[in-house]
Amino acid sequence: MKNIAVFASGKGTNLQAIIDNIAKGTLKVNLALVISDKQNAFALKRAKRAGIKALYLDPGKFSSRQAYERQICGYLKKDKVDLIVLAGFMRILSPFFVRRYKNRILNIHPSLLPAFKGGQAIKDAYSYGVKVTGVTVHLVDEKVDHGPIIEQRVVAVSGLESVGELEAKIHKAEHEVYPEAIARIASRRFILKGRRVVIR
């Protein structure tokens, strides 16, 4: 069974979906560690409530981004983490970190990449008037919202819902698809053919 670490900066709703799926037995991984860059992140409380090791690391106490990430690497090595799952982690990982954990970092983005990259993806898609949007689970590479796609889920946009209602639909899809994608990557081998993730 693989050890995973979840990085989160906020409410931790995707973290909760992961915790719930582990409890149900539909996601067979060991959640060894939750790391946050925000002291008041509710994700840390979710982890502690579930009996999971939770760690706050203040980026402001380190001389550089790489120094901060080296400290994180020490904790990951100590807990023998195989796979890193970004769940609302609001820091861009450096090339140093991404190379060190190449093809072992997953992220979820609230659009059908490559459309609507960035931090306002739901609002941007809504404003553009799309008929469908969705979520994308992808491997993290050295560019933002760019790595090879593992899984996508389409969410229809009626045009009658508010942006807040669309956001709720997107989050529901995230909570379904992320644990499924993690399970696929954690339990099976995969290869990359160009940008295409082929899971065996």
At residue 178, the 3 state secondary structure works out as helix
**Of the candidates 110, 52, 70, 62, which has an alpha carbon nearest to the alpha carbon of residue 86?**
110
Tell me whether strands 30-36 and 3-7 are parallel, antiparallel or unpaired: parallel
- Does the active-site annotation cover 146? no
Q: How far apart are CA 150 and CA 57, in angstroms?
A: 29
Contact 34, 115 (CB under 8 A): no
Q: How far apart are CA 27 and CA 179, in angstroms?
A: 6
Of the residues 109, 138, 171, 175, which is catalytic? Answer: 109
Active site amino acids: 109
